[in-house]
Structure 1
Amino acid sequence: MNRIQIERYDIDNLDCATCAAKIEQELKKTDGVEDAVLDFATLTLLLKATDTQKALAVISRIEPQVKFTRRDKGGNKQEAHDHSTASNYRKEIGIIITSGIIFVGHMVFENRFHALLWPWVEYVVVCTAYFLAGWNVFLGAIRSIRRGLLFDENVLMIIATVGAMAIHALSEAVGVMLFFKVGELLQNMAVSKARRSIRGVLAARPDRALVKNDSGFSEISPGQVKVGDIILVKPGEKVALDGEVVEGISQVDTSPLTGEPVPVQARPGDSVMAGTINTASALMVRVTKPFEASSIARVLELVESATARKAVTEKFITTFARYYTPAVVAIATIIAVVPPLLIADAQFTTWVYRALVILVISCPCALVVSIPLGYFGGIGWASRSGILVKGSMFIDVLASVKTVVFDKTGTLTRGVFMLDRVVTVNGFSADYLLQLTAAAELHSTHPIGKSIVAAMNAKGLAINEALVSDHVAIPGIGVSTVYEGKSITVGSDALLHKMGIDHEQCIVESTVAHVVVDNQYAGYIVIGDQLKADAKQAIRLLRQNGVDKIIMLTGDNESAAAHVAKDLELDQFHAGLLPEDKVRIFEQICAQEKSNGKVAFVGDGINDAPVLARADVGVAMGALGSDAAIETADVVLMTDSPAKMAEAIRIARHTRRIVWQNIALAFSVKGLFLLLGALGMASMWEAVFADMGTALLALLNASRVFRKVD
């Protein structure tokens, strides 16, 4: 069985959104292709196939002029192409001006041309202006006809303008072609500007690394650097790969990854991440991960692959575009043929002209280009803000969120626990109880367990690790161990109830760890946690952004949970939950809030994986270094700031608003001119101006998202 290859290509010489959609459609129907996503906004192709060369041959057959360049492991092109965009624009502008001068001259002296004894002179002048403006359109139409693409925009534009000439609407034929050319140029310029903004989002990818060798340093691609190599990072340069500082002290700007321009100190032993910027002095870094597994590579892979997960709106537009043009052509044909046959005094040229007006607006470019561009702009804006959205489908879901459910520890609170006090009973001393508890928590990875061990060490106490045995973790409620021959159990109220241990009720607004020694209650340890600095701001911003209900789930005790919920003014909280309880309670919340809107869950992305998977949109917080979080969540907040959740919703709603503005604009204008064209109340001039103007306005509107990126 052939192995599936996943490759990414950069595309050149593709300037038609409908052509891009056609290529993607044909690739998906090709044997051996599991999936193909051709993103016209970024001019990239994501291909999953057993035979990529066979798939690329399909592209060459459909669009022979298209060039594709495979990315290497470092995410860079393997060979460079000469992009002479500015030169092409100047050439196009020159052609348009020349054609325009001839066209205006014909308009000014039109009556004199009509009076000439040689009518062909007028046709020569008109055709000169026409072919100057429409030469590339003609070539595109010929290529499309050869491939059987009869509903291509170039073919339809040629039919419309040649038809206008045939009924002696010479000025309109040239004017329509000229306006079409101007509109195409302006569209291409707008798309190019948007692509430059997209490239700005993706510019965090390091393109070189200075690797230490026997003779000094050599400059190579990050993809060629091996784990264990030592790289030099000069001041002002990007860290090329994830690694550990071995020499030098500096500060690192993490904003390319987190969106937060707060410098982080880097000294020997500290970890630094690829894509961050060294701001102060030189660092020597030992590489700990290959480039393709680095933080920046994962981030950029998510951003670039986001187009594969299309929103329902995008899918609808793609399907709509497939049927819209044939339907409009059918309407135009009926209008041209049927009325002259059924209406006695109907003039054939009048109805043909009306049909040509309709043909002019038969291309859905305004939707096909601007909608994906708007979504990708939103994803880019989010990534610049330290928010990774895994696809435009999650932009739509985020925009519809009405209920947000937070995990407590490490999400709303700092998750940095400090010993508050030790309360003992039955003759145990505070220090001895702390030692016994630390023995039980010695191998714990939970923040509470770590804080107890740290508190013991801070007090100068110690335990004999050789006397610790039979350590057992009791999921969600505690741990047990044997130390110095004594059976020690540490855990929550639920664990003590399960063991049948009587104990005094303790009502405290913090986390409590009860301790049982040889089935005798010995006391409890109070562990304090603090709200994150922006937790209250996060709740306020969520409500400002249209979230109706905010709920907290926690395994902590009722008193501690109630204190946090009251302090943050939450709508609900559920305390004392085991991991399986969280899933059950969350499913109940989803069922209750289903009619109100979408439900989001925000957690650490590791311990909350089952709940993240059940949410309409699962959000992992502070997951920059976590492979598990990036794999599980739909949205990844790169910092530990809960306010980022409100920002994610704000970005999503702004993006969706722009997308729907473009949809409303395109549908209303095209619908209006279909009606006006059929009634004979619109000219070809007005139709092409409205059509190209709508496409341009939609692109400019979509580019408002990119201004946020810049």
Structure 2
Amino acid sequence: MSAGLRKEFILEGLDCANCASKIEVKVNELDGVRLATVNFVTKTLGIEVDDISKLESIVNDTRGIVKKLEPHVVVTEKIKNKIKHNNHNNHDHGHCDGHCDGHNHGNSHAHSHGSGGNKKELIGLGIGAMLFFIAIVFKMPNTVEFVLYFISYLLVGGEVLLRAGRNILRGQVFDENFLMGIATIGAFAIGEFPEGVAVMLFYQIGEFFQDLAVNRSRKSIAALMDIRPDYANLRVGNKEKKVSPEEVVVGDYIIIKPGEKVPLDGVVIEGKSMVDTSALTGESVPREVEEGSNVLGGFINKNGLLTVKVSKEFGESTVSKILELVENASSKKAPTENFITKFARYYTPVVVFAALGLAVIPPLVIEGATFSEWIYRALIFLVISCPCALVVSIPLGFFGGIGGASKNGILIKGGNYLEALNNVDTVVFDKTGTLTKGVFKVTEINANKNISKEELLEYAAYAESHSNHPIAISILKAYGKDINKDEIENYEEISGHGIKVKVKDKEILAGNAKLMDEKKVAYDSVETIGTIVYIAVNGKFAGSIIISDEIKEDSQKAIKELKNIGVNRTVMLTGDNKQVGVRVAKELGLDEVHAELLPDQKVEKLEMLDRQKSEKGKLIFVGDGINDAPVLARADIGVAMGGLGSDAAIEAADVVLMTDEPMKLVSAIKIAKRTRRIVWQNIIFAFGVKAIVLVLGAGGLATMWEAVFADVGVALIAVLNAMRVLNVKDI
């Protein structure tokens, strides 16, 4: 989809996950909307449209939907790279309970914890609680007792009742305010005054602590991704000027002082320093940079003064792309999230109607049953009926997992990919630059008697001078002299074989054994470890050059760890010769290797491996993200290795490992498994407690006290549990 067909908005004041879900559903129902997603954690709404001509009316309709569902929420268009990543922190004082419709009207809200307006509410809550305990502890006439309970109830729950009334007028019946209002008014109606006040009091206290927990987790996620630089020191003549990173253009010079964030991607032209790259790569050891070194926005300058020539505008910089990816990750929701969103829409109405049936039917059909007893049981149903624990904690868990992974140097482009990482059956690796360092070096030159080693290397260098392949670069580096391109004619690259070119009136062939066979050149086959480039001059074999690559330090450990965490099969695909491929595979402990593959054959092999995987298993392809785009796209999950600073890697893959360490893939899978474990703990816990209390309530064995715990208590525990996913230090 073209970028012009997507709009993003900040929903300032959005502090209710259930309301966010309702907005998302309603906007998705608009004609012309391809996809609408609300990210509750970052308070953003993204809309994709089919026809750009409908965009204006869709935006207007969207504003109307938000106004109707959440009148206090302010909708502002998100200007790319102009809104600070932590923008949502500016509105973090709202009541974030996952089910509170129609609150925070005007400038205050029932639980605006953190601003001056909430002092009155907290005082009211305190006085209400004091009156409640006086009424419980001290013996007094019934009328006085009722008055104390009633005043206490109004002080504690007055705002909830007002919100419920406003929501009913807007056609929103099944929300937490309505349910709590009906349940507690019902308790008063049947003479259960203490329980009516207690339910509202503990509901409000529970909401207060739940709000604090959600806000804390929001801030923790924001802190994990707080890598956006706030300013740049632009060099203007002999002076420097502090400007926004967006104002700097390519070719400008910026000064980075010790302790400052590098604001934009560029090349160091003056100075030497150590830089902390952990925010982007998860690496704890600082890197040394000097003149000629590339630096990326988000690095932190530790000690020296650096002058950097900017190579990318902020909108195209690595840090900007990372922030955008992480913020937009929630638009690709995990199947579990989608299930809970749909489930929540039906669960509450079903329980409400079940409560209605419970209040009316048993007294009519069971001899001796009283309406007051069964209404009380029905009220318990109402208190339990909001799925707030799931609606808040599950998206929070997935977003926390994505945020925690990014802090660990792993970009996961959506909750769907995070969840898919739990079911990895087969991992397919590219070899060069993935399992090996991709730093090729000429280690041996074998020349025939009628040609010198220097001449052989010169012919090879001229033949490879137009190629960017690592092997070509290593030959050019070994040659070390300038290439006169005027002496090169009729350059022809033969895919998967090598190069044919005319140099100084001589026809040069440089490539693998298949090229020699195809051109019917008799050659001396070399049995060695490494990549062999055979050279022929005017149709006669001239010699060979051996180029060796080095295996990465953590490749062997990564393969072993993948086996330990449940991956069934590890495979390597390479265009290199079979001998090298088999040697590398054996050294690393891979299950199988397919060598001497052309780019299209890699896709064919991947499709074959895909058919062989288990029914529910996922196939991962791990490559460098540049030459492997077709294979990355074909795999269930495409993982780009060595993606630091590579636009192609960030665009092509579903997961980007910001360093070139294979062990990061193990970390990604462990984070995914940890996230799923915590999410499912919340699902089972919330469903389990609610189901038990519903059954006990229907049987007359549970009171309102247990019901309040099953609602607010369970939600608070689920949110606190979801926060654990942010702790990725032990991964």
Q: Which moved more, 1:79-88 or 1:175-184?
A: 79-88
Q: Which residue of 2 aligns with 1:514?
A: 534
- CA deviation profile, 1:589-638 (whole Å, cap 9, x unmatched): 11111336211110001111111111111100111222121111000001
Q: Is the contact between residue 6 and residue 46 of structure 2 (CA under 8 Å) also seen in structure 1?
A: yes
Q: Which residue of 1 aligns with 2:46?
A: 46
Q: Which residue of 1 aligns with 2:107?
A: none
- Distance 1:47-1:595 versus aligned 2 partners, 3 A rule: closer
Q: Partners in 2 of 1:148 and 1:293 — Cα distance?
A: 45
Q: Is the contact between residue 274 and residue 301 of structure 2 (CA under 8 Å) also seen in structure 1?
A: yes
Deviation at 1:256, TM superposition (A): 1.2
Q: Partners in 2 of 1:281 and 1:233 — Cα distance?
A: 9
Q: Which residue of 1 aligns with 2:685?
A: 665
Q: Is the contact between residue 197 and residue 709 of structure 1 (CA under 8 Å) also seen in structure 2?
A: no
Q: Which residue of 1 aligns with 2:129?
A: 100
Q: Partners in 1 of 2:527 and 2:124 — Cα distance?
A: 82
- CA deviation profile, 1:559-603 (whole Å, cap 9, x unmatched): 111111111111111111111111111111111113362111100
Please report the TM-score for the alignment, with normalisation by the length of structure 1. 0.94
**Is 1:65 matched with 2:72?**
yes
Kindly report which structure 2 residues correspond to 1:175-214, keeping only aligned pairs within 5 A, or say none: 175-213=198-236
Kindly report which structure 2 residues correspond to 1:49-448, keeping only aligned pairs within 5 A, or say none: 50-51=55-56, 52-76=59-83, 85-87=113-115, 92-109=121-138, 112-114=140-142, 119=143, 121-213=144-236, 216-425=239-448, 427-448=450-471
1:616 to 636, 655, 677: 636
Deviation at 1:265, TM superposition (A): 2.8
Q: Partners in 2 of 1:79 and 1:619 — Cα distance?
A: 30
- CA deviation profile, 1:105-139 (whole Å, cap 9, x unmatched): 11123x5333xxxx3x3332112111211122122
Q: Partners in 2 of 1:449 and 1:455 — Cα distance?
A: 10
Secondary structure of the residue aligned to 2:42 is: coil
Q: Partners in 2 of 1:17 and 1:270 — Cα distance?
A: 45
**Is 1:559 matched with 2:566?**
no
Secondary structure of the residue aligned to 2:597 is: coil
**Which residue identity does 1:62 align to in structure 2?**
L
Please report the TM-score for the alignment, with normalisation by the length of structure 2. 0.92
Q: Is the contact between residue 221 and residue 404 of structure 2 (CA under 8 Å) also seen in structure 1?
A: no
Q: Partners in 1 of 2:3 and 2:278 — Cα distance?
A: 38
Deviation at 1:429, TM superposition (A): 2.9
- Distance 1:168-1:47 versus aligned 2 partners, 3 A rule: same
Q: Partners in 1 of 2:73 and 2:479 — Cα distance?
A: 67
Q: Partners in 2 of 1:334 and 1:565 — Cα distance?
A: 66
Secondary structure of the residue aligned to 1:30 is: coil
Q: Is the contact between residue 271 and residue 290 of structure 2 (CA under 8 Å) also seen in structure 1?
A: yes
Q: Which residue of 2 aligns with 1:593?
A: 613
Q: Which residue of 2 aligns with 1:12?
A: 12
Q: Which residue of 1 aligns with 2:705?
A: 685
1:550 to 559, 570, 579: 570
Secondary structure of the residue aligned to 1:56 is: helix
Deviation at 1:146, TM superposition (A): 1.7
Secondary structure of the residue aligned to 2:229 is: coil
Q: Is the contact between residue 225 and residue 407 of structure 2 (CA under 8 Å) also seen in structure 1?
A: no
Deviation at 1:80, TM superposition (A): 10
- CA deviation profile, 1:6-25 (whole Å, cap 9, x unmatched): 44444333332111111111
Q: Is the contact between residue 407 and residue 603 of structure 1 (CA under 8 Å) also seen in structure 2?
A: yes
Secondary structure of the residue aligned to 1:650 is: helix
Deviation at 1:703, TM superposition (A): 0.6
Q: Is the contact between residue 89 and residue 219 of structure 2 (CA under 8 Å) also seen in structure 1?
A: no
Deviation at 1:351, TM superposition (A): 1.1
Q: Partners in 1 of 2:285 and 2:152 — Cα distance?
A: 58
Secondary structure of the residue aligned to 1:708 is: coil
Q: Partners in 1 of 2:690 and 2:681 — Cα distance?
A: 14
2:720 to 676, 700, 709: 700
- CA deviation profile, 1:239-259 (whole Å, cap 9, x unmatched): 111222233222222111111
Q: Partners in 2 of 1:5 and 1:130 — Cα distance?
A: 50
Q: Partners in 1 of 2:692 and 2:82 — Cα distance?
A: 46
Deviation at 1:231, TM superposition (A): 1.9
Q: Partners in 2 of 1:211 and 1:315 — Cα distance?
A: 46
Deviation at 1:233, TM superposition (A): 1.3
Q: Partners in 1 of 2:92 and 2:668 — Cα distance?
A: 35
Deviation at 1:669, TM superposition (A): 1.0
Q: Is the contact between residue 12 and residue 88 of structure 2 (CA under 8 Å) also seen in structure 1?
A: no
Q: Is the contact between residue 514 and residue 523 of structure 1 (CA under 8 Å) also seen in structure 2?
A: yes
Structure 1: 5+ residue stretches without partners: none
**Is 1:486 matched with 2:506?**
yes
Q: Partners in 1 of 2:405 and 2:254 — Cα distance?
A: 31
Q: Is the contact between residue 419 and residue 527 of structure 1 (CA under 8 Å) also seen in structure 2?
A: yes
- Distance 1:436-1:79 versus aligned 2 partners, 3 A rule: closer
Q: Partners in 1 of 2:444 and 2:289 — Cα distance?
A: 34
**Is 1:29 matched with 2:32?**
no
Q: Which residue of 2 aligns with 1:639?
A: 659
**Which residue identity does 2:560 align to in structure 1?**
R
**Which residue identity does 1:690 align to in structure 2?**
A
Q: Which moved more, 1:364-373 or 1:348-357?
A: 348-357
Q: Which residue of 1 aligns with 2:98?
A: none
**Which residue identity does 1:524 align to in structure 2?**
S
- Distance 1:463-1:445 versus aligned 2 partners, 3 A rule: closer
Deviation at 1:32, TM superposition (A): 5.1
**TM-align CA RMSD:** 2.2
1:505 to 525, 529, 533: 525
| 4+ residue runs over 6 A deviation | none
Secondary structure of the residue aligned to 2:114 is: helix
- Distance 1:425-1:248 versus aligned 2 partners, 3 A rule: closer
- Distance 1:19-1:342 versus aligned 2 partners, 3 A rule: same
**Which residue identity does 1:44 align to in structure 2?**
T
- Distance 1:143-1:216 versus aligned 2 partners, 3 A rule: farther
1:524 to 544, 554, 562: 544
Q: Is the contact between residue 69 and residue 79 of structure 1 (CA under 8 Å) also seen in structure 2?
A: no
Q: Partners in 2 of 1:634 and 1:368 — Cα distance?
A: 26
Q: Give % identity.
A: 48
**Is 1:604 matched with 2:624?**
yes
**Which residue identity does 1:586 align to in structure 2?**
L
Q: Partners in 1 of 2:170 and 2:505 — Cα distance?
A: 84
Secondary structure of the residue aligned to 2:501 is: strand
1:465 to 471, 479, 485: 485
Q: Partners in 1 of 2:45 and 2:421 — Cα distance?
A: 26
**Which residue identity does 2:46 align to in structure 1?**
L
Secondary structure of the residue aligned to 1:541 is: helix
Q: Which residue of 1 aligns with 2:102?
A: none
Q: Partners in 2 of 1:415 and 1:610 — Cα distance?
A: 20
Secondary structure of the residue aligned to 1:219 is: strand
Secondary structure of the residue aligned to 1:371 is: helix
Q: Is the contact between residue 400 and residue 723 of structure 2 (CA under 8 Å) also seen in structure 1?
A: yes
Q: Is the contact between residue 7 and residue 48 of structure 1 (CA under 8 Å) also seen in structure 2?
A: yes
Q: Is the contact between residue 13 and residue 91 of structure 2 (CA under 8 Å) also seen in structure 1?
A: no
Q: Which moved more, 1:498-507 or 1:299-308?
A: 498-507
- Distance 1:663-1:269 versus aligned 2 partners, 3 A rule: same
Deviation at 1:486, TM superposition (A): 1.5
Deviation at 1:439, TM superposition (A): 1.2
Structure 2: 5+ residue stretches without partners: 50-54, 94-112
Q: Partners in 1 of 2:464 and 2:66 — Cα distance?
A: 60
**Which residue identity does 2:125 align to in structure 1?**
I
Q: Partners in 2 of 1:552 and 1:162 — Cα distance?
A: 67
- CA deviation profile, 1:213-243 (whole Å, cap 9, x unmatched): 3583322221222223222211100111122
Deviation at 1:280, TM superposition (A): 1.5
Deviation at 1:48, TM superposition (A): 4.0
